Amino acid sequence: MCGIIGFTGSKPAKNIIIDGLEQLEYRGYDSAGLALLHEGKITVKKRTGKVAELRKLCEEDDNPATCGIGHTRWATHGGVTDANAHPHRCGQVVLIHNGIIENYKQLITEFGLGGKLISETDTEVVAALLDTFYEGDPVKAIKKTVNALSGAFALCIMFQDIPDTIFSIRNVSPLIATASSEGSVIASDLTAVIAFSKEYFVVPEYHILTLTRDGIDVRDMKGNEVKPEILSVNWDITSAKKGGYPFFMLKEIYEQPDAIRNTVAPRVSQGLPDFSTDGIDDEVLLSCKRVTVVACGTAMHAGMVGKHVIESKLRISVQVEIASEFRYKNPIIDKDTLTIVLSQSGETIDTLEALKLAKKNGSRVISIVNVKGSTIARESDYVLYTHAGPEIAVASTKAYTVQVSAMYLIACKMGMVKGILSEGEAKHFMTKLINAPNIIEDTLKMANDIKRIANHIKLAPNAFYIGRGLDYTMSLEAALKLKEISYVHAEAYAAGELKHGTIALITENVPVIALATQEDVYSKVISNIREVKARGAYVVLVSMDESVEDPAICDKHIRIPKLEPEFTAFATAVILQLIAYYTSEAKGLDVDKPRNLAKSVTVE
């Protein structure tokens, strides 16, 4: 996905746009650019690289323009080049885009646009088409253009002959906007808008916005004026700053205790789970005969932890689906299935489309989302918002543990309403969940000890995480974290399965992080560890043992406190996050913005 911002007001736009792009950079950082409109002249500055490169490019430019648009790109169509960077200009039109235009090649042929194009992007095709349709009436030209488009788009547009005005329209890709005393602002998400106002609105799909310094006009495609619902931000701008940490990821790892407290506490009354403020009726949990969980990446891994608890405690079947697979497998899902969707951003297109398919099949959807008013939240029957605050680092950490916490809340509530858990059992479970932040705080005290492990991993071409049961589930998240920010190829493996082939990869000094926190399978995992140790692996054992003196079992032992099996997840989660973080840092990488990635994937 990409980050887009537009500003028109009483102040020079250049630095406002660049500052806003810095806030949006986590959405994509292959290239960055801006366009300024001043006295009938459009100036475009863009280049590959991060927003800092754009700032350098513009620092000599004292353009007084008070109207402009800016874009930070995660490449989809066309390589990472200056020419493919946004904004794209064609004739009277300049625009920026987040999304994918699926029929852009047909449009080139149908409207003979080839001669107008210099880039490889779908976005430039939109600019060329709009310029073709533009005969002085911007709204008419925009309508005609978007009627020809298929796919997801969030567009911010300026016309050279319409001063100090930005037009915008979206379909699926996110946009929010606000009018403040300084001017009107539109952006991909709150991080770029909060500096202007704590109030904002979500841009309705297929509505044309006209932003001027005096305010924002919103009209549907028939021209009817619309007043969107005004929302207010539930966090402040410092939440979107590093606060003295070297990287957002480390800050967000340390924010986890408060993130969980803020997510769980509002849903506890008299020691029991309570969703009344979320508007989730008991009947929704009572009536379901099975549960399907749909998500992507880390969010899916959080769902898998939830599966483990629901199945082990409630004996209710839970199917966890990769959203991009679910959409095309003709899933077995019906009105008796409760679908739980997890998404930090609430904008992941695969998850959104899977949600729509679940609803189409009659299933009711509860979504666990961290961004208020996001698309997935608005499409769901019920929303259980997590309150982790903005998660800026591409690698998800606090969002993961609050998603796990939310799944535990659902499991406990479902157990109660179905009469599977007694009030006493539910209260006991909730006591442990309320204690989860303390587990994390205790684990964070081991950060320096965990940091030393990074030295054994940072040069390894491969690493393995192994475990059984919940520990295997945690290994999946551990491997993803390590891969995505340190580029060490990591694989999660069911400990008992390793000997069926993959153990062939275990040679001298290959790092194997073995999770052995589940007492019912502890001895089996220890046996599996001996198998890899005997082949020269460098083994880090994570367990509740007071101490492990036997060098035949591990080279390094990380002890977690004695915990009930499902609550070990809060300790192992932090350990795996820190191992990944310190490995990436030791390699001198940009931990927050790993190569090729973006914070939320709004393309399929």
**Residue where the block lists tokens 């792009």:** 21
Phi, psi (degrees; rounded to nearest 5) at 362: 90, 0
Q: Which residues pair with 220 in a beta bridge?
A: 207
CB of 394 to ligand AGP, least distance (A): 5
Alpha carbon distance 577, 591 (integer Å):
12
CA distance 108 to 249: 42
Q: Which of 291, 340, 339 is nearest to 311 (CA)?
A: 291
CA distance 273 to 409: 6
From the candidates 45, 46, 481, 599, give the one annotated as an active-site residue: 599
251 noted as active-site residue: no
Phi-psi region of 582 (alpha: psi -120 to 50; beta: other; left: phi over 0): alpha
Least Å from the CB of residue 395 to ligand AGP:
4
Quote the CA–CA distance of 424 and 306 in Å, as a whole number.
Answer: 21
The residue among 551, 549, 547 whose CA lies nearest residue 537 is 551
Task: Please identify, using beta-carbon distances, which residue of 123 and 600 lies nearer to ligand AGP.
Answer: 600
Residue 402 or 513 having the CB closest to ligand AGP: 402
By CB under 6 A, name the binding residues for ligand AGP.
296-299, 343-345, 348, 351, 394-396, 484, 600-601
Whether the upstream peptide bond of residue 87 has omega within 30° of 0, thus cis, is: yes
Long-range contact set of residues 329-334: C-beta below 8 Å, sequence gap at least 24: 331/292, 331/357, 331/358, 331/361, 333/292, 333/358, 333/361, 333/362, 333/363, 334/361, 334/362, 334/363
Q: Which amino acid is at 279?
A: G
Nearer Cβ to ligand AGP (394/479): 394
Tokens 């602002």 found at: 185
Q: In the bound complex, what is the minimum distance in angstroms from residue 457's beta carbon to ligand AGP?
A: 18
Task: Provide the token pair at 349.
Answer: 């297109």
Q: State the nearest-atom distance from the C-beta of 325 to ligand AGP, in Å.
A: 14
Helix %, strand %, coil % for the chain, to 5? 40, 25, 35
Tell me if residue 58 is catalytic: no
Nearer CB in complex with ligand AGP: 11/378: 378
Quickly count: other Cβ atoms within 10 Å of residue 356's Cβ. 13
Alpha-carbon span 332 to 318, nearest angstrom? 12
- Between CA 594 and CA 587 the distance in angstroms is 12
In the set 2, 67, 90, 288, the catalytic residue is 2
Name the pairing type of β-strands 176-180 and 183-187. antiparallel
Closest CB to ligand AGP among 169 and 598?
Answer: 598
Closest to ligand AGP by CB, 119 vs 386, is 386
The identity of residue 227, as a single letter, is K
CA-CA distances (angstroms) from residue 469 to 329, 386, 430, 525?
A: 26, 26, 22, 10
- DSSP state, 251? H
- CB of 410 vs ligand AGP, minimal distance in Å: 17
Q: Give the Cα separation of 563 and 567 in Å (integer).
A: 6
Nearer to ligand AGP, 192 or 521 (CB): 192
Tell me whether residue 296 or residue 513 sits nearer to ligand AGP (CB atom).
296
Question: Cβ of residue 8: shortest distance to ligand AGP, in angstroms?
Answer: 30
Quick one: which of 165, 162, 171 has its CA closest to 143? 171
Question: Among 562, 551, 546, 547, which Cα is nearest to 529's?
Answer: 551
If the CB atoms of residues 66 and 397 are measured against ligand AGP, the closer one turns out to be: 397
- Other CB atoms within 10 Å distance of the CB of residue 8: 28
Burial 363-376 (b: 16+ CB within 10 A, else e): bbbbbbbbbbbbbb
268 versus 589: smaller Cβ distance to ligand AGP: 589
Rounded to the nearest whole angstrom, what is the least distance from the CB of residue 373 to ligand AGP in the complex? Answer: 14
**Minimum gap (Å) between residue 401 Cβ and ligand AGP:** 12
Say how far apart CA 314 and CA 308 lie, in whole Å: 10
Smallest distance from ligand AGP to CB 376, Å: 8
Residue with smallest beta-carbon separation from ligand AGP: 297
Positions marked catalytic: 2, 599
